[in-house]
Amino acid sequence: MSKILCFMPTYSPDVEASSDNVRSYGRLSQHEIMVRVNDLGYLSREKPFVYMDAVDSVMNVRPDIELIVADGRSTESIRTELCKHQAACGDYSLALYPECESQWKLLNDVVGRHIAGDTEYIVYTSSDILWSHDWVGEAIKEFEFDADLMLVFPLVSSGDNESLPYQVASGPRDEGLLEAQYQVAAQAQVLNGYEFVMRRSFWDV
């Protein structure tokens, strides 16, 4: 059992699976994902293919991770394509929930079902984020350095083209915080966690 449990939610209740710009169901390499994204631009965000690219990037970067993709709930056409991808790859789990559920409710359920005695870290990753490098490994170094550290967020960037899927940035950047539209509506600071990793002990509190 992996010492790192990773949760990825998918949710497309009103979108049917695209029949354009299709990709294979088998695992794509990081290079193949990069070429696909660069060639297609914004069209690389079509669903469910952006989900498949995101899953492939996680498993390419951390093949030792236990990845659980939880869908709650997308259209049947999206789910059918996700099932084909999972069957072709076979190195991650796909949980299909019967009702539309909050991703945080799904997180609680997935972690409750899959956390093991040797699980040390829990990762949340969005389904349209491409992992470009082992940011979890770098975060673990920080955990080992600082025993009081409980939660780490990497910087997420759209790179040089805002139409492309977001990526975990390759290094620190001197940028201001993202001010999302819903932050204005909430009239308060909103923490938008595209990606984060926490200690097991933080979850257990």
pLDDT at 71: 96
**For residue 166, what pLDDT is reported?**
55
Query: b/e map of 41-70 (b: 16 or more CB within 10 Å)?
Result: eeebbbbbbbbbbbbbbbbbbbeebbbbbb
65-119 pLDDT per residue, tens: 999 999 998 999 999 999 999 999 999 999 999 988 888 899 999 999 999 999 9
Q: What is the pLDDT of residue 167?
A: 58
What mean pLDDT do residues 166-178 have? 53
Q: How far is CA 9 from CA 13, 34, 193, 204, in A?
A: 13, 22, 13, 21
Does residue 151 register a pLDDT over 80?
Answer: yes
User: pTM of this prediction?
Assistant: 0.85
- What band does 156 get if pLDDT is binned at 50, 70 and 90? low
What per-residue confidence (pLDDT) applies to 160? 47
Angle at 74 between CA 166 and CA 156, to 5 degrees: 15
